[in-house]
Amino acid sequence: MKKTFGAACAFMTLLVLAACGAEEPMAYRAGNAPDRLPRNSFAVPASVPESIVGAINANREAFYGALRAAVAADSGGLLVLVDKRHALGETYIPPDLVALGTGKAYLLNREGLSLRAAAEASLAGMAEAARKDGVTLVVSSSYRSWTYQKTVYERNVRELGQAAADRESARPGTSQHQLGTAMDLGSITDDFALTKAGKWMVAHGGEWGWSLSFPDGYEPVTGYRWESWHWRYVGVKAASLQREWFGDVQQYMLEFIDAWASYSGS
Ligand SMILES: [Zn+2]
Count CB-CB contacts under 10 A for residue 204.
15
Phi, psi of 82, deg, nearest 5: -130, 115
pLDDT score of 266? 52
Q: In the prediction, which pLDDT does 22 show?
A: 55
Q: DSSP character for 176?
A: G
**Tens digit of each residue's pLDDT (9 = 90 or more) over 215-239:** 999 999 999 999 999 999 999 999 9
CA of 127 to the centre of ligand 1 (A): 18
Strand order, beta sheet including 210-212: 107-108, 138-141, 182-185, 230-233, 210-212
* CA of residue 175 to ligand 1 center, whole Å: 8
The CA 1 to ligand 1 mean position distance, Å, reads 55
pLDDT of residue 167: 83
Ligand 1 centre distance from Cα of residue 141 (Å): 7
Residues 38-85: pLDDT tens digits?
Answer: 889 999 999 999 999 999 999 999 999 999 999 999 988 999 999 999
Domain residue spans in the chain? 1-33+40-79+245-266, 97-233
pLDDT profile of the chain (266 residues), mean per 10: 39 44 82 81 94 96 96 92 95 96 94 97 98 98 96 94 88 96 97 98 98 97 95 98 98 97 82
pLDDT number for residue 7: 37
Fold of 97-233: Muramoyl-pentapeptide Carboxypeptidase; domain 2 (3.30.1380)
Output the CA 169–ligand 1 centroid distance in Å: 8
CA of 77 to the centre of ligand 1 (A): 18
For residues 187 and 210, give the distance between their C-alpha atoms in angstroms, rounded to a whole number.
Answer: 18
Q: What is the pLDDT of residue 34?
A: 73
Cα(75)–Cα(54) distance, rounded to whole angstroms? 29
Alpha carbons 181 and 150: distance in angstroms, whole number: 18
Q: How far is the CA of 185 from the centre of ligand 1 (A)?
A: 8
For residue 261, report the distance from its CA to the centre of ligand 1, in Å: 26
pLDDT reported for residue 263: 92
Residue 225: per-residue pLDDT: 93
